Amino acid sequence: MSERTQLSPTAAVVLGLVVALMGCLVIGIAIGIIPADSTRDPRWIGVAAGLAFVLAGAAVIVGFAVAGGAAPDGDLPPGTPFGVRLTQYLLGLGIVGLLTAIAVSVAFGPGPRQFNVTGLPFLGPKAGETMGRVVFGFGAVLSAAFFVVLAVVSARRLRRPR
């Protein structure tokens, strides 16, 4: 197996800040600080999506600039302090939790939904909402399962001696 390419700490900080700033832009639009076309989506969905980007940027910085990259097993390198490990795992759980909350809201939340279903003209316009909710429901269930698996794996990794 070839050696993995790692981000340098400087590149990690730059990339992390760019991703986090993109998230701040989304949050600014969602709460109305940055003017944009109006949307019918609840503001919390835009805030949650933007916050997921902010957390992802922080995870890149913590993982590569603070912890020093990834070990061959995909975990943080041996000797990474407990606090850094805990922070990285909580950032990951936050990202997955936010994305899961968005998918659950789209799939199971009240009110009509508009989805554009192309390639299946025989289903008609009403099928767009049903199909969209089914797809987002499937994604919500998978995301929730991933959240649980991530929490269990993270807890196990935190408990093992390093």
d(Cα 155, Cα 89) in Å, to the nearest integer? Answer: 9
Please indicate, yes or no, if residue 119 is contained in any of the structural domains. yes
The mean per-residue pLDDT over the stretch 88-105 comes to 97
Chain centre to alpha carbon of residue 1? 29
Please indicate, yes or no, if residue 13 is contained in any of the structural domains. yes
pTM here? 0.86
Please indicate, yes or no, if residue 2 is contained in any of the structural domains. no
Q: Tell me which of 129 and 151 has the higher pLDDT.
A: 151
Please indicate, yes or no, if residue 1 is contained in any of the structural domains. no
d(Cα 102, Cα 126) in Å, to the nearest integer? Answer: 22
Q: Tell me which of 2 and 101 has the higher pLDDT.
A: 101
Strand ranges in the chain using DSSP code E only, listed in sequence order: none
d(Cα 145, Cα 12) in Å, to the nearest integer? Answer: 29
For residue 59, what is the enclosing H or E element?
Answer: helix 43-60
d(Cα 158, Cα 105) in Å, to the nearest integer? Answer: 31
Please indicate, yes or no, if residue 4 is contained in any of the structural domains. no
Q: How many CA atoms lie within 13 A of 1 on its CB side?
A: 5
Q: Tell me the pLDDT tens digit for each residue of 126-142.
A: 567 788 888 899 999 99
Domain that holds residue 143: 9-159
State the chain's mean pLDDT as an integer: 88
Please indicate, yes or no, if residue 106 is contained in any of the structural domains. yes
State the total domains in the chain: 1
Please indicate, yes or no, if residue 47 is contained in any of the structural domains. yes
Q: Tell me the pLDDT tens digit for each residue of 68-94.
A: 888 888 888 988 999 999 999 999 999
CB-CB contact of 98 with 51 (8 Å): yes
d(Cα 148, Cα 76) in Å, to the nearest integer? Answer: 20
Q: Over 70: is that where the pLDDT of 54 sits?
A: yes
Model pLDDT, residue 42: 86
Q: Over 50: is that where the pLDDT of 57 sits?
A: yes
CB-CB contact of 93 with 149 (8 Å): no
Model pLDDT, residue 152: 96
